[in-house]
Amino acid sequence: MGGFVLFPSAPSEANAKPDLAVSLEPSLEIGRAFLAAVILFNSNAAGGAGSFEAGVIGGRAGYFFLEGPTAPWASLGLASLYESVITQADSGTKFSHGGAGVLLEGGVQLFRRPGLGRVAFSAQLIVPLFGLRTSNSGPATTITAFLLGLKLAL
């Protein structure tokens, strides 16, 4: 389970602001390698013009670079991704689209040992493989999301 701050790379007409996001990520470790399912969404707390919303369901594979209780890792995955943005222009029009996305993540896990009680600091990049229109007249654009956060194995 994790908590993140999500930073969307939205174009100026969307003016999307950073927001909080939560994730649920059950995983299976096999030596230094691991597989994880990913469910992530942001709160869209603003709810008005300039807000960005994303939902992710997918999976990723990763690798711990060191043995021991503190270990850095990197992972790569694929996901089904939904994005929506409420623009500042167009009187707050909501634009949304979904499709495939790529998940990239890196971080450091603390207290890496069998059982519960692990803590991890991570950075994630969510790259959609589709475009999202952010105005009635402009072309679709890709809105990449960058996340910084803390994960707890409960």
Q: Tens of pLDDT along 89-140?
A: 666 677 788 999 999 999 999 988 777 778 999 999 999 998 877 777 777 7
Domain span including residue 112: 2-152
Model pLDDT, residue 97: 84
Q: Report the distance separating Cα 120 and Cα 112, nearest Å.
A: 9
Q: Which residues pair with 28 in a beta bridge?
A: 35
For the chain, the domain total comes to 1
pLDDT (tens digit, 9 = 90+) per residue, 8-23?
776 665 566 788 888 9
Model pLDDT, residue 74: 98
CATH number of the domain residue 77 falls in: 2.40.160.20
